[in-house]
Structure formats: C-alpha cells, structure tokens
Structure 1
C-alpha cells in the first residue's frame, strides 16, 4: 500500500468522522431549540390559564399580502421616471438578428 493511498484513506475517515460530528451537533441544536420553544410556550400557557386568559396556540403566520406589497413598492421605485408605476410593454416591433460567425466566447 502506497503512502498516498494510506493518507487519503485516513484523511477520508477523519473527514467522514468530522461531518458526522457536525451533523450530530446540528441535530442536537435543533432539538434543544425546539424543546426550549415547547417549554417557553408551556410556561406561557400555564401563566395564561392561571390569570384566566385564553391560551393562544403557537403559530407562525405568513403574510403573503405584505410580501407582495414589498415587491410592488420595489418595482415601482425602479420604474423609469417617464413611465407610470407598474407600466408594461404591450407592443414590440420584432426584427431578426443576424447570427455572427464567431461563437459566444468571441473565437
């Protein structure tokens, strides 16, 4: 067995071992974070019950309308000054473009 082959096999083993450790650390972090969120929400629910308030479920909402408005505002700001906001091209004069003898890299 040559030194190069031995080196790459040992290097590959430690690389796999390192990736396994990193993956396990990420998994433990995600589990700990989810457990923390569950405990925090349970504490919130317990306090709400003790105070006689209704318990709100833990929910993440996605406001699609707000996202759409963000992109519409960005598009309106980038529109040319002469064109109204949201203007679209509806009429185009097409023409044929002659193909060049060179390829795309200019050779």
Structure 2
C-alpha cells in the first residue's frame, strides 16, 4: 500500500508543477501579447516603438545606494564613547588614494 501512496503523491506533485509552469507560461504569453499590441499601435500611429527592456544593473544599484547614504543625515549615535575612539569620520569625497611604498 505504501508504494502506491508514494507513487500517487509523486504524480500529484508532477501535476501541480505542470499546472504552475502552465500558469507562468500563460502569464508571459499574455504580457508579450500586450506589448505587441502596444508596439503595433505605435507603428500605426507613427510613434517610435521602444523595446521591452528592464534597466537594472549592479552599477546603477550601487550608485543609487550611495546617493541615498549621502543624502541622509547621520543619526545620533547610540554609542558615543565608541564614536570618540573611532575618530572623526571623513566624507566620502575626502578619501585619498593609497600611496605605494
């Protein structure tokens, strides 16, 4: 009885996986159709057709995080003695290159 039950569970899991893959595929096909309709409309009306591009890169994300860090003010420290021991923090723009020995 146990081998039959494990076989049925495996068949059920494969069916669930196939249904999920089908839903994801239908979603992407629907998104492609929506983009193609917009591109066809732009072609008919004479507007430029822009490609579907996700503009994201590691350099852009790093620059965005640096911009956020520089724009925020430094909050009051919870450990004032540790800040005194660390010395004065310089702004990021004041960092100099290392001189070779």
- 1:22 matched to which residue of 2? 16
Give 1:63 shift. 4.0
Q: Gaps spanning 5+ residues in structure 2: where?
A: 84-88, 93-101
Give 1:18 shift. 1.2
Partners of 1:77 and 1:30 in 2: CA distance: 44
Cα-Cα RMSD: 3.1
Give 1:37 shift. 1.1
1:49-104 CA distance string (max 9 Å, x none): 1111011111112143442233773xx889983653789xxxxxxxxxxxxxxxxx
- 2:30 matched to which residue of 1? 36
- 1:45 matched to which residue of 2? 39
Q: Gaps spanning 5+ residues in structure 1: where?
A: 1-5, 88-107
Alignment TM-score, normalising by the size of structure 2? 0.60
Partners of 2:53 and 2:27 in 1: CA distance: 16
- 1:70 matched to which residue of 2? 65
Alignment TM-score, normalising by the size of structure 1? 0.58
CA gap of 1:17–1:31, structure 2 versus 1, over 3 A, is: same
Count residues in correspondence.
79
CA gap of 1:46–1:55, structure 2 versus 1, over 3 A, is: same
